[in-house]
């Protein structure tokens, strides 16, 4: 019974730390200090909190990891030669995307069925001179295009843009991968 209460208490503390401070719950600062609990400074992006226990109780340790996965982001976006967008990424990679391909690959719910993943957009209906009228950031993770055909609901995540990069190195790497079955 005591172990169940300790485990439940640990879970509540973990939720409080992950979800933020609420009335009546504990919260942790960047140095992993929780009021009323023994703390161990984190190493890297995580840390360990040890709960103070009554004599004879089984020790319980809650391991926490903070931070977000690293994300490669574009640091420069330019138009190159008619009909192409070039993105230079913070890791030095230089992506090249044809405007038409970007429009054809729009990931929005109007262009891709949300349940099946099948494309809804008929590529033959896309004008050969399609181009973005505006390009903007969506938070710290994506770009949003306003296209010359009036379409503007697609959110192109940085991971998606890297995955569909049309540069020679990325194209060769994709071709070398075995097909998923």
Structural domains in the chain? 2-65 (no CATH), 74-176 (3.30.2020.30)
Count CB-CB contacts under 10 A for residue 154: 23
Q: How far apart are CA 78 and CA 51, in angstroms?
A: 53
pLDDT value for 106: 96
Long-range contacts of 79-87 (CB under 8 A, 24+ apart): 83/129, 83/131, 85/132, 85/135, 87/161
Count CB-CB contacts under 10 A for residue 103: 22
Residue 21 has pLDDT above 70, yes or no: no
- Taking Cα atoms as reference points, which of 172, 143, 135, 136 lies closest to residue 160? 143
User: Given phi > 0 = left and psi -120 to 50 = alpha, else beta, which region is 176?
Assistant: alpha
pLDDT value for 105: 95
Instruction: State mean pLDDT over 91-116.
Output: 94
User: Looking at 5-19, 56-70, 106-120, which range is the least confident one?
Assistant: 5-19
**What is the model's pTM?**
0.60
pLDDT value for 82: 84
């Amino acid at each position: 019974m005591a172990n169940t209460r300790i485990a439940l208490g640990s879970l509540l503390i973990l939720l409080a730390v992950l979800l933020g401070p609420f009335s009546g719950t504990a919260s942790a600062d960047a140095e992993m200090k929780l009021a009323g609990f023994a703390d161990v400074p984190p190493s890297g992006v995580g840390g360990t909190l040890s709960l103070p226990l009554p004599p004879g109780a089984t020790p319980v340790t809650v391991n926490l990891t903070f931070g977000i996965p690293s994300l490669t982001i574009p640091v420069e976006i330019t138009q190159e030669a008619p009909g192409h967008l070039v993105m230079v990424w913070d890791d030095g990679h230089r992506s090249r995307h044809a405007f038409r391909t970007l429009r054809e690959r729009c990931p929005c719910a109007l262009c891709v069925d949300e349940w099946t993943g099948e494309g809804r957009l008929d590529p033959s209906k896309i004008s050969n001179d399609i181009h973005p009228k505006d390009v903007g950031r969506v938070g710290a993770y994506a770009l949003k295009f306003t296209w010359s055909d009036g379409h503007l609901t697609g959110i192109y995540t940085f991971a998606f843009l890297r995955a569909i990069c049309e540069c020679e190195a990325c194209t060769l790497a994709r071709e070398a991968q075995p097909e998923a079955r």
